[in-house]
Homo-oligomer: A and B are copies of this chain.
Amino acid sequence: MLQGKVLVAQGGGPTAVINQSLVGVVLEARKFPQVEFVYGAAHGVSGIVNEDFLNLTQETSFNLEMVANTPSSALGSTRDKPDADYCREIFKVLKAHGIAYFFYIGGNDSSDTVRIVSEEARNAGYPLRCIHIPKTIDNDLVGNDHTPGFPSAARFVAQAFAGANLDNAALKGIYLAVVMGRHAGFLTAASALGRKFPDDGPHLIYLPERIFDTERFLTDVKLNYEKHGRCVIAVSEGIHDASGTSIITSLSAEVERDAHGNVQLSGTGALADLLCSEIKAKLGIKRVRGDTLGYLQRSFLGCVSDVDQREARQVGENAVQFAMTGSVDGSVAIKRTGDYSVKYELVSLESVAGKTRVMEDELISASGTDVTPAFHDYLRPLLGSNFPEVHRLSANKVAKILAQ
């Protein structure tokens, strides 16, 4: 077992439970006598190269527990994607501070950083244990049944669509909402779990795993509108046409530029607005409303899956266990073992780094605009306890008098 300091950092987009993993690492690492100090790097890898470290060795356990229940990255995060040179800088700092254990909580970019740093250390003959801890609301890490952060975001999306469906049933029309996930449609697909009654929306779900055809989309919407008198639609931000061009780009091509000469692409409401314009113009439906779930789906305070909380804690704890008792670097992965149970394994960094998982075919319906029962079976246990339920009146109609 290596003697030295522990360094933990958080990278990429925050999640509702990423601090559970951080706290799992800190509390677990402090139990081991060979650990001299536990440092946290501010704002991920950028804090490492700037030596911006917090000393978490004496942070009270009570406050850590409070922080664990707080969403977003308590250490701060970064969008930096280190190349080989950047990773050499990281390694230089780790060495200078006598870091023996490096834990990086993040998505597939972060796992690639860990992979390169691990290689640097090996090449330099410096004893360093590097462990990647999974986190991403996109659920796009290969080798994992699912990733911490995804279940809570999925719960938010399901609750958002369950509510939006009720709103749309009360005031009929078209409701469309854009969900995060550029390459993987898991989060958009989670909208299906907001349904309860057979005619509940979302009636259509558009995933980046399937080619988006605007004409077919309009036909789908029209059919559902005729059937239900309304239509609720979930759309992934990553939808694209057959050539791979994202729909926001292809639709925006028809749209003019703003006062500063830029196409209105960056504004996060743009895709929903463009699709709503298409529906209004081509189908002539008046009440068309578009939302973009935006940052709420990963940051909203007070929507969390308890299963996700528990697992995020455990990937942090297990990362330390693997580091202290094992002799290889790697990435902690969640494997499903039963219905519902999981185990944690250490997989190679190479198997995760820089790879993107997308939704498996058996999770998407033949129509391409819905999910299968297998997806329901997959996601339901992840959403956690006390998912709010909706109910309807069951009363009979009263006979008309005047209209007879």
> What's the dominant secondary structure at chain A's contact region?
loop
CB pair B303 A393 closer than 8 Å: no
Within 8 A of B (CB), among A15-68: 39-40, 43, 50-56, 58-60, 63-64, 66-67
| A266 / chain B contacts, CB cutoff of 8 Å | 273, 276-277, 280, 288
A393-B75 CB under 8 A given contacts A256-B258, A269-B290, A292-B291: yes
| A63 / chain B contacts, CB cutoff of 8 Å | 391, 393-394
From the candidates B39, B51, B92, B264, name the one contacting A264 in the complex (CB within 8 A). B264
| A300 / chain B contacts, CB cutoff of 8 Å | 159-160, 163
Within 8 A of B (CB), among A238-279: 254-260, 262, 264, 266-270, 272-274, 276-277
Q: How far is the CA of A393 from the CA of B66 in the complex (A)?
A: 9
Contact-residue size bin, chain A (C-beta under 8 Å from the other chain): 35 or more
From the candidates B51, B264, B394, name the one contacting A59 in the complex (CB within 8 A). B394
Q: How far is the CA of A162 from the CA of B300 in the complex (A)?
A: 7
Q: How far is the CA of A280 from the CA of B160 in the complex (A)?
A: 30
CB pair B264 A402 closer than 8 Å: no
CB pair B55 A395 closer than 8 Å: yes
Q: Does A390 contact B (CB under 8 A)?
A: yes
| A281 / chain B contacts, CB cutoff of 8 Å | 259-260, 262
From the candidates B177, B276, B402, name the one contacting A96 in the complex (CB within 8 A). B402
CB pair B301 A72 closer than 8 Å: no
| A50 / chain B contacts, CB cutoff of 8 Å | 403
Name the residue of chain B whose CB is nearest to the CB of A53.
B398
Within 8 A of B (CB), among A161-177: 162-164, 166-167, 169-171, 175, 177
Chain A interface residues toward B at CB < 8 A:
10, 13-14, 39-40, 43, 50-56, 58-60, 63-64, 66-67, 69-79, 92-93, 96-97, 159-160, 162-164, 166-167, 169-171, 175, 177, 194, 254-260, 262, 264, 266-270, 272-274, 276-277, 280-281, 288-296, 298-303, 387-398, 400-403
Task: Provide 13 A-B residue pairs closer than 8 Å at the C-beta atoms, listed in order of the A residue.
Answer: A51-B402, A67-B392, A70-B392, A71-B390, A77-B171, A92-B402, A96-B401, A163-B301, A167-B299, A260-B280, A267-B270, A268-B269, A289-B295
